[in-house]
Chains A and B, each alone.
Chain A
Amino acid sequence: MKNLLFILMLLVCLSCEEVVNVDLNKAAPRLVIDASINWEKGTSGKVQTIKLSTTAGYYDTVIPKISGATIFVTNSSGVVFNFTEQAGTDFVASKYICNNFAPILGENYTLTVIHNNQTYSAQEKLIATPPIRDVDQRNDLGLNSDEIGVRINFIDTPNEPNFYLFRFGTSVNAFPEYQIIDDQFTEGNVTSWLYSNKNLKKDSEMNFILYGISESYHTYMKIVLANSSGSGAFGPSPTRVKGNIINVTNRDNYALGYFRLSETNSYNYVIQ
């Protein structure tokens, strides 16, 4: 909604946006752990990837990789799943892959990352996700009712508070877009989200992924998305967002990123 307000202000006030150059400070690099375990419905979920990198200057084009780390995930029965570093240079961050992961809904997992004699740790539960029921195409979205988009529907898991993350991948945006949703007002009902983009046209390919997430991760992503959306003065003051990964060796040297485990449902759609 904050974004909408922002768009609103843009529209009303004879205002203008301009890309400017700003002199920015650069903080010392900090470890970033992207430990997202995704278990797509109908698959074994055996292959999982964890990415390590560090922070960089805001305008830097190269993301520093982190090589030589030891990564493993343990379930509540003490079973260990090792993640080994993947050779190759064609991806942004260093990738660590596990080929024998055993996902169980509701199971508690512990992540351990050892790097530079520092041990990082995080705990999280694997959360179930309802299926995407259907997608309706709409051709009357946007401020002038001429944008093409979709309404994505799923049925909220009843009788408990639920939190969800949507990922919208389209051929018309250079990076994926995300939206967090909760069931505060739609408990047990059809829950929908509208997505539109002024560049969508016939034959544009789209992919949507729904993730069940924890309440803590919902809060975390709320800050991540507010920080990266550039909603300016109409959002809360941006701050560094702390995830659930702690440094057990030296608490102040915590890692950014999050250890999240979700069942997922992916849905492909081509604009008619």
Chain B
Amino acid sequence: MTKKFLFTVIITIILSFLYRIPIYAQERVTISGTIIDSRTNETLIGANVYIVELKTGVSTNEYGFYSLTIPAGNYTLWLSYIGYLSRQESISLTETIKSDYSLIEDSKALTEIVITANKEIADIRVPEMSTSKLSIQTIKQMPVVMGEVDIIKSILQLPGVTNAGEGQSGFNVRGGSADQNLILLDEATIYNSSHLFGFFSVFNADAVKDLKLYKGGIPARYGGRLSSVLDIYQKEGNKNHLNFSGGIGSISSRLLAEGPIAKGRGSFIVAGRGSYAHLFLKLADNKNSASFYDLNTKLSYQLNSKNQIYLSGYFGKDNFDLNGAFVNTYGNSFANLRWNHLYSDKLFSNLSLIYSDYFYGLELGFVGLDWDFGIQNFNLKYDFKHYLGNATRLTYGINAQYYTFNPGTIKPQDENSGINAEQLAKKFALEPAIYMDVEQSLSKQITVNYGVRYSLFYRLGKETVNVYANNQAVVFNNVLGIYEKASPIGLKSYTDNEVIASFNNLEPRASVSYALNDDQSVKVSYNRMTQYLHLISNTQSPTPLDLWAPSDNFLKPQLLDQVAIGYFRNFKNDKYSLEVESFYKDIKNRVDYIDGAELIANRAIEQVVLNRKGRSYGLEVMIKRNTGRLTGWVAYTLSRTEQQTGGRTTTETGINSGRWYKAGFDKPHNLSITASFKQNEKWNFSTIFNVQSGLPSNFPNGKYEYLGISVPDFGLRNESRLPTYHRLDLSATYTPKPNKEKGWRSEWVFSIYNVYNQQNAASISFRQNSDTAANEAVRFSVFGIVPGITYNFKF
């Protein structure tokens, strides 16, 4: 309860700060409205609305809305947005007005004006730091494997973001593991972001409007994951014309339809994508198959000037069939109903009702077993954005999520199977939270953003749980020096909605920006995050076996503290920008596993887990060229990520003798060069070059004979490293008729992944040769040179 008290105290302090906002003698008026795309009338997220004379501004929220309260007077309004031409407007403000503006997309503009187009330059005055925005246009031009545009793969080119190797699902942000990323698509949580085991991501770039990655300084409105937030918004659809677009690639094809409904008061978008490699396999009489599809849908409708509703949905599915011996099906789906309401021209609200579902199924023909896993999640959110005067904005809201986890439904495949049908006990949880966030300019130099999130987590019945001696589900065998499962000493039954375990955490967040001048600033941020869900996986690389478990008396909520400091500078009239950031992260209660732990369909997962600590620190440097025919960036990250599972008592050894060891995705050096060159209206060339430290690995320091086989012997964990990784990719985009505005428009994207066919090691395995029985080391590489071709069209 002390935390509740603290929360009240902090909110009171925040409010008392706010009421000290100086009152001006002049009359103050409000200008508010929406910023939209000139061609499609789509709202623009994060567009800047800036009052030149006052050196103050605001960016549009997730629904394109802005509101500024300033003294009455004549001003120059400067409107800018990534990938769009900036616009300057003279306004005479005498009373509160509503004013919507439209911006013209950069690619539609004449080349000479492109130089003034606003790109992803460093925002000098906003306290927001450790965030990255990438325009869909930039992402679509980047070379990718087999020409399949991939949002997740493109954010890997940003500083502080890596993954556990080629073809691996997920991504790691500043030493965080893949399950510590909060991935939101239209505010709904996506549990598995990959298709085909990580080769492609689940996001269809055609249907995506905007994305933003928070690596640190995470605002209080986000919670539930430790490391990062990848916030993706789907397009609403063209409000002016019915449009079709699509693409034919070597892996999949896409088709998108969008258009107005109810005479432009609303719009719809439907985008589908499906792979077809499995069809070729079938033709070739191959009984193996791999396929995926996804469908993005959205409806938006404006009831009146104060009310707008949105209904969005996503359905994705993967199917992998190895001749019936191994069939894997998984998919995310969600439906989200949102209601935007303007209480006043200063108070914006959004109510979201989200249902999401994650399904994972395995059919193991070789043991005659079917196994299903799933998460269902109801999410209710009510968020408010309050635009107070003097460039002060208040964001506050409430959020409640109810989860149902199905750890496993086990079924025999047929009557010959000896498998007994079984339903593992379902788990239920409720995660409510309340938050408040303030962004405020204290002076012309200093802008602050501070807030707090108070999160709670309840594990609820109905469930029967194991009871252990001394509350320890894992015991240390002092004689053998190993960890073992504890035997339960009893059972405790809980009725429907009875609280089994509960947690509450106060999560303060703060960032400060100090502008040295118009081109340079220094920023500092701190954030504490809590994660109540755990991904249960003990493999070195992430596998598609995504089992999630809620916190309970044994799996404690994960906690993170992060501090970051950064220096930001724009050069030469914003042609170049420099971002330098350094961070330190401290993680508690990360799940670690005892040796030999079985995680799949485990009836008592608490018997194989221990809590561990983690830490990571690093330096990130990014230099960008924002404008001109050649654009791109160089990103370099120097970092270290380590973990430790110590003994709980002095006699216990812990894991890895209780020593700190490198995380499986620790990459001390990571250099990425991304460049795009516009040759002329028809040709655009892009390239990516990566050099990274090889992943940590365990190489044997000996072997021995046991039961007639050779067993490699190992020392401490992750002391070795795979060879340095490097790769060059190229792509060219050809637009035959660039100036065509109507009718059939098309482009060709040619790409070559891994141009010089470098055989990068994804892993090195140690095993016996099956013919000679001699020990050998085997390098496994994923992609050699991979050419790709995609044809995109619009009409």
Contact residues of A with B, CB < 8 Å?
A: 1-2, 4-5, 7-22, 24-27, 29-30, 32, 34, 36, 51, 53-61, 63, 92-93, 141-145, 156, 167, 173-176, 178, 184-187, 189-194, 216, 219-220, 222-224, 227-244, 246, 251, 254, 256-258
| Cβ contacts under 8 Å, B543 to chain A | 2, 5, 234
B residues 273-293 touching A (CB-CB < 8 Å):
286-288, 290
- 8 more contacts with CB within 8 A, not counting A9-B197, A232-B780, are A11-B322, A12-B199, A18-B778, A27-B715, A143-B323, A186-B419, A230-B765, A234-B540
Would you call A59 and B775 a contact (CB within 8 A)? yes
What are 21 sample pairs from A and B whose C-beta atoms fall under 8 A apart? A5-B543, A5-B544, A13-B199, A14-B783, A17-B778, A18-B779, A34-B707, A59-B775, A144-B286, A173-B770, A178-B709, A184-B601, A185-B601, A191-B418, A193-B367, A216-B484, A223-B595, A227-B714, A237-B718, A244-B480, A246-B479
The 8 Å CB contact of B481, one of A5, A55, A173, A242, is: A242
B488 CB–A CB distance under 8 Å? no
Would you call B710 and A237 a contact (CB within 8 A)? no
Docked CA distance A176–B701 (Å): 23
Contact residues of B with A, CB < 8 Å?
A: 164-165, 167, 196-197, 199, 286-288, 290, 320, 322-323, 325-326, 364, 366-369, 410, 418-420, 422, 479-482, 484, 538-541, 543-545, 593, 595-598, 600-601, 656, 664, 698-715, 717-718, 759, 762-784, 786
Q: A18-B759, A22-B699 are in contact. Are A224 and B706 (CB under 8 A)?
A: yes
Would you call A185 and B701 a contact (CB within 8 A)? no
Would you call A176 and B764 a contact (CB within 8 A)? no
Would you call A27 and B713 a contact (CB within 8 A)? yes
Shortest CB-to-CB span from B663 to chain A, Å, is 10
Q: A19-B778, A144-B286, A234-B541 are in contact. Are A156 and B418 (CB under 8 A)?
A: yes
Docked CA distance A16–B785 (Å): 12
| Cβ contacts under 8 Å, B776 to chain A | 19
Docked CA distance A194–B165 (Å): 32
Would you call B780 and A92 a contact (CB within 8 A)? no
| Cβ contacts under 8 Å, A34 to chain B | 705-707
Would you call B326 and A27 a contact (CB within 8 A)? no
Docked CA distance A61–B766 (Å): 15
Q: Give A5's nearest chain B residue, CB to CB.
A: B543
Would you call A58 and B759 a contact (CB within 8 A)? no
Docked CA distance A63–B702 (Å): 11
| Cβ contacts under 8 Å, B765 to chain A | 230-232
| Cβ contacts under 8 Å, A190 to chain B | 418
Shortest CB-to-CB span from A171 to chain B, Å, is 12
Docked CA distance A85–B703 (Å): 23
The 8 Å CB contact of A17, one of B320, B479, B779, is: B779
Would you call A220 and B596 a contact (CB within 8 A)? yes
| Cβ contacts under 8 Å, B545 to chain A | 5
| Cβ contacts under 8 Å, A61 to chain B | 774
The list of the 4 closest CB pairs from A to B, nearest first, reads A230-B767, A230-B765, A189-B418, A232-B763
Would you call B323 and A187 a contact (CB within 8 A)? no
Docked CA distance A235–B700 (Å): 15
Docked CA distance A191–B196 (Å): 32
| Cβ contacts under 8 Å, B286 to chain A | 144
Docked CA distance A18–B782 (Å): 12
Q: Give A185's nearest chain B residue, CB to CB.
A: B419
Docked CA distance A9–B164 (Å): 15
| Cβ contacts under 8 Å, B410 to chain A | 185
| Cβ contacts under 8 Å, B598 to chain A | 222
Would you call A192 and B368 a contact (CB within 8 A)? yes
| Cβ contacts under 8 Å, B418 to chain A | 156, 186, 189-192
| Cβ contacts under 8 Å, A178 to chain B | 707, 709
| Cβ contacts under 8 Å, B699 to chain A | 22, 24-25
The 8 Å CB contact of B713, one of A16, A143, A189, A256, is: A256
Q: A27-B713, A173-B770, A246-B479 are in contact. Are A185 and B422 (CB under 8 A)?
A: yes
Docked CA distance A99–B762 (Å): 50
| Cβ contacts under 8 Å, A92 to chain B | 705
Shortest CB-to-CB span from B499 to chain A, Å, is 30
Q: Give B365's nearest chain A residue, CB to CB.
A: A194
Docked CA distance A244–B422 (Å): 33
Q: Give A226's nearest chain B residue, CB to CB.
A: B596
| Cβ contacts under 8 Å, A26 to chain B | 701-702
The 8 Å CB contact of B764, one of A20, A93, A241, is: A20
Docked CA distance A63–B597 (Å): 31
Would you call B539 and A2 a contact (CB within 8 A)? yes
Would you call B706 and A257 a contact (CB within 8 A)? yes
The 8 Å CB contact of A14, one of B701, B708, B713, B784, is: B784
Would you call B711 and A224 a contact (CB within 8 A)? yes
Would you call B771 and A174 a contact (CB within 8 A)? yes
| Cβ contacts under 8 Å, B482 to chain A | 242
| Cβ contacts under 8 Å, B288 to chain A | 11, 143-144
| Cβ contacts under 8 Å, A142 to chain B | 323
| Cβ contacts under 8 Å, A176 to chain B | 707-709
Would you call A194 and B366 a contact (CB within 8 A)? yes
Shortest CB-to-CB span from A125 to chain B, Å, is 15
The 8 Å CB contact of A256, one of B368, B704, B766, is: B704
Q: Give A228's nearest chain B residue, CB to CB.
A: B711
Docked CA distance A222–B596 (Å): 6
Q: A55-B713, A256-B713 are in contact. Are A15 and B700 (CB under 8 A)?
A: no
Residue of B596, B759, B777 contacting most chain A CB atoms (<10 Å): B596
Residue of A25, A194, A232, A234 contacting most chain B CB atoms (<10 Å): A232
Shortest CB-to-CB span from A114 to chain B, Å, is 19
Shortest CB-to-CB span from A249 to chain B, Å, is 14
Would you call B712 and A233 a contact (CB within 8 A)? no
Q: Give B768's nearest chain A residue, CB to CB.
A: A175
The 8 Å CB contact of A239, one of B698, B703, B709, B767, is: B698
Q: Give B598's nearest chain A residue, CB to CB.
A: A222
Docked CA distance A8–B703 (Å): 28
Q: A13-B167, A189-B420 are in contact. Are A174 and B773 (CB under 8 A)?
A: yes
Docked CA distance A193–B365 (Å): 11
Residue of A7, A10, A30, A186 contacting most chain B CB atoms (<10 Å): A186
The 8 Å CB contact of B783, one of A13, A29, A143, is: A13
Docked CA distance A152–B710 (Å): 25
Q: Give B786's nearest chain A residue, CB to CB.
A: A14
Would you call B783 and A15 a contact (CB within 8 A)? yes
The 8 Å CB contact of B768, one of A25, A143, A174, A240, is: A174
Q: A24-B701, A189-B418 are in contact. Are A58 and B714 (CB under 8 A)?
A: no
Q: A1-B364, A15-B782, A56-B702 are in contact. Are A233 and B596 (CB under 8 A)?
A: no
Would you call B777 and A20 a contact (CB within 8 A)? yes
Would you call A9 and B773 a contact (CB within 8 A)? no
Q: A156-B418, A178-B709 are in contact. Are A238 and B714 (CB under 8 A)?
A: yes
Q: Give A248's nearest chain B residue, CB to CB.
A: B479
Docked CA distance A97–B259 (Å): 84
| Cβ contacts under 8 Å, B706 to chain A | 32, 34, 224, 256-258
Docked CA distance A52–B258 (Å): 74
Shortest CB-to-CB span from B488 to chain A, Å, is 14
Shortest CB-to-CB span from A156 to chain B, Å, is 7
Q: A17-B780, A34-B707 are in contact. Are A238 and B419 (CB under 8 A)?
A: no
Shortest CB-to-CB span from B200 to chain A, Å, is 12
| Cβ contacts under 8 Å, A244 to chain B | 480
Docked CA distance A175–B707 (Å): 10
Would you call A36 and B775 a contact (CB within 8 A)? no
The 8 Å CB contact of A240, one of B325, B708, B713, is: B713
